[in-house]
Every structure is written in structure tokens, then in C-alpha cells.
């Protein structure tokens, strides 16, 4: 997955703030939802999203406060004009982005979507078997699917209540 330089730089600014508060950066990206929004997802290192033992509201507030000050000091990499900063937890159906995410959640149920068909389909669900040679390996419907990571547009854990 190619990450725009602006987002890469923002992540470089955000990571130390997260580390100072004992949390990990899961993702940071701009969205448009009634105006520009910078969404930052954080989690406790090693926390299992299914247990709910993740970040607290106080964690989100502390990171948001400090991050706001850091971003205000770096006008070259934030959008021109007004934007909202949202800091939150990725939730029980945590999105998966990086190789480390896929490796961490091997054995868990996942869903993913591709930008174009792979094995004749764009959507996959099943048990995550691994991440090998830049491919996500999923077991589902009695088959094993190897999906190139660069084609994955959306992937997340599935939580059964």
C-alpha cells in the first residue's frame, strides 16, 4: 500500500506523542465528514480488542490534547483551513493495515475487500492463517486464499457477540 507523503509525515509526528502516553498508533488518515477530519486510532500495546481492555477515554483525551499542540506547530503537513482532530480506539472489529497487524491476529476471523478480483472475487472472510510473501493468507469456505496485500483496500477483525 502506497502511503501519501503527507500522511507518512503526520505519522512520524504522531508516533512519539502516542509512545509518550503508553499507546501505539494504529492508523492516521484524513477523511471528509462534514469538513476535513484527521482520524487517529490508538491502542494499548498487546491489548486484545475482543476483551475491551484497550485505550480509555482519558488516553484519547491526553493524546488529543498533546497532538493538537504538535500539529499546530507544523503547518506544512496539516490541511489548510479548519479540520477536526478525532482520537479514538479501533474497536473490537479493529482494522488491519500493516504486516505486523496481520501477523499479530493470526487465527482470528477476518474480512477483507480488494480493489480488483482475486481468485474471481473481491471480498473474503475466514480465519487469518498468516502473511507470507506480501500476501494475506485466509482459510474460508473450505479453501485457502492468498491475497496480495497491495490489492487489499479494507481489512478488519470480525467479532462475534
Q: Residue 5: its pLDDT value, please?
A: 57
In the chain, the domains with their CATH numbers are 5-88 (3.30.300.70), 99-157 (2.30.30.180)
What's the farthest any 2 CA atoms get from each other in the chain? 53
Alpha helices (H) along the chain: 5-20, 57-72, 99-104
Looking at the chain, the whole-number percentage of residues with pLDDT higher than 70 is 91
What are the pLDDT digits (tens) for 106-158?
999 999 999 999 989 999 999 999 999 999 999 998 999 999 999 999 999 99
- Helix then strand count (H, E) for the chain reads 3, 8
Q: Residue 61: its pLDDT value, please?
A: 96
What's the whole-number average pLDDT of the chain?
88
Q: Residue 31: its pLDDT value, please?
A: 83
The pTM of the full predicted model, rounded to 2 decimals, is 0.83
Contact status, residue 29 vs residue 37, Cβ threshold 8 Å: no
Q: Residue 76: its pLDDT value, please?
A: 67
Amino acid at each position: 500500500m502506497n502511503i501519501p507523503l503527507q500522511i507518512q509525515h503526520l505519522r512520524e509526528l504522531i508516533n512519539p506523542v502516542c509512545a509518550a502516553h503508553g499507546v501505539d498508533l494504529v492508523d492516521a488518515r484524513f477523511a471528509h465528514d462534514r469538513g476535513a477530519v484527521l482520524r487517529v486510532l490508538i491502542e494499548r500495546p498487546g491489548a486484545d480488542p475482543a476483551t475491551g481492555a484497550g485505550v480509555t477515554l482519558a488516553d484519547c483525551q491526553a493524546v488529543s490534547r498533546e497532538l493538537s499542540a504538535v500539529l499546530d506547530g507544523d503547518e506544512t503537513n496539516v490541511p489548510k483551513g479548519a479540520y477536526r482532530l478525532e482520537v479514538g480506539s479501533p474497536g473490537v472489529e479493529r482494522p488491519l493495515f500493516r504486516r505486523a497487524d496481520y501477523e499479530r491476529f493470526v487465527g482470528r476471523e477476518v474480512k477483507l475487500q480488494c480493489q480488483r478480483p482475486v481468485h474471481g472475487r473481491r471480498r473474503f472472510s475466514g480465519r487469518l492463517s498468516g502473511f507470507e510473501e506480501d500476501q494475506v493468507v485466509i482459510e474460508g469456505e473450505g479453501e485457502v486464499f492468498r491475497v496480495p496485500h497491495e490489492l487489499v483496500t479494507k481489512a478488519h477483525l470480525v467479532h462475534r457477540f
